[in-house]
Chain A
């Protein structure tokens, strides 16, 4: 009788984990991936959509095409997980049991948590949001643009910095740079979470005339006054406001009592196993690990979870633990980019921005569909 492995969520982490468990165990496991829409979105592409450099069609693929034939895909939404009985209630009715469960349920945007955000701010954290922002930017006459952060943690920490660099180039090409002021309102006392990377990007911000506001964690938006306020007690006026919305864990995690107060799943930082339930693992944005919520984190965690589950089913020792590996690109505009690489043992390093890394990012964007979901890139 094969072991039943259920993966919740068809993003990068869930897809790789499902494929690798199936590949590793063959007929020893029946792997089922459950996703509410069955459409895989390449979320790093939203930024490019917002700035008119990509269209939405490039960012979506049928999840079925990304899964091995042996993996079942179920289009449904998990509404409640019962970890004691190892069973999942589904939105369309009925339940499904599991021997091992992978929570790859990602993060959900909680725009409603910040007063005035829905009415007063734009974002590029969903495809719809990116398309709306693109339309606004297309006809923007010039003025004060503020990019800020309305909640921590959030997906893709480099994104706000990338956005202002790419926006500066966009405004220049539209011929309205001189009529515009750009402010990056950072939640920290520097441009980016990582000091070494900040030292690299801050001179570029200065050279491009992008103002840096520090320790500005958004509290509220007042659309009628066109002002955004911070929990530190400051305010910034704007003509166009772009905010990273607050993030929470998935509803099913909160409803099932499997997460912390924000719905993030508490896991072992090495094995990614749930702290209370040893048949449950979590990947990527879903976890409570205070490292980057990013596709690369999920990408590097998925093989670990697959290895851990395969070892438990076979009664052997897992080949891999998660060492905290993260690797992100950071676009700095004008055809240049840098990277950020680190793990639990090694502090972040970033090379000088160059054309080489910009080309590497574009190559990664283009090759993503043929390589990453299948687990072909380690």
Chain B
């Protein structure tokens, strides 16, 4: 298994609003191309929301890992 070291980790567990996706979008906006951002989310909606946004915005979803009580999303800013 290849481990990617994130440039930034956002702990958004337990947060409903504005939510983990909004935190990710904010981090991508501020980041540089190639940055890897990890988001921790316990919000079930993140599994569809984050995937859909990363696809639409043409970034790269490096991994989605289920942990106890939350999911780790690793995203690379591609452009």
Contact = CB atoms under 8 A, between A and B. Distances in A.
A360 interface: no
Given A151-B26, A193-B22, A342-B17, 19 more contacts: A152-B25, A187-B22, A187-B25, A188-B22, A188-B49, A217-B25, A217-B29, A231-B29, A232-B53, A232-B56, A261-B30, A262-B30, A290-B10, A290-B15, A292-B17, A324-B14, A326-B17, A348-B16, A348-B17
B contact face: mostly helix, strand, loop, or mixed = helix
A322 interface: no
Contacts of A195: 45
Interface string B40-61: 0000010001001100111000
Q: Which range contains the number of A residues in contact with the other chain? A: 20 to 34
Contact of A193 (B14, B19, B29): B19
Closest 5 CB pairs of A and B: A232-B57, A152-B26, A290-B15, A152-B22, A215-B56
B75 interface: no
Centre residue among B16, B26, B56 by max chain A CB count within 10 A:
B16
Given A152-B25, A217-B29, A231 B57 contact: yes
B21 interface: yes
Interface in B11-38: 12, 14-23, 25-26, 28-30
Given A231-B29, A290-B12, A215 B19 contact: no
A120 B8 CA distance: 33
A153 B22 contact: yes
A291 B15 CA distance: 6
A268 to B, nearest CB: 12
Nearest to B20: A290
A71 B26 CA distance: 38
A346 B38 CA distance: 25
B18 A157 contact: yes
Interface residues of B, number: 24
B16 A347 contact: yes
Contacts of A291: 15-18
Given A188-B49, A290-B15, A344-B14, A153 B26 contact: yes
A315 interface: no
Contact of B21 (A188, A262, A342): A188
Nearest to B79: A233
Nearest to B23: A290
Given A231-B29, A231-B57, A232-B56, A290 B18 contact: yes
Contact of A215 (B17, B18, B45, B57): B57
A189 interface: yes
A181 interface: no
B49 A194 contact: no
A157 B21 CA distance: 14
A189 B53 contact: yes
A189 B48 CA distance: 10
Nearest to B21: A188
A347 B18 CA distance: 12
A153 B56 CA distance: 20
A97 B66 CA distance: 47
Nearest to B19: A193
B37 to A, nearest CB: 13
Contacts of A215: 52-53, 56-57
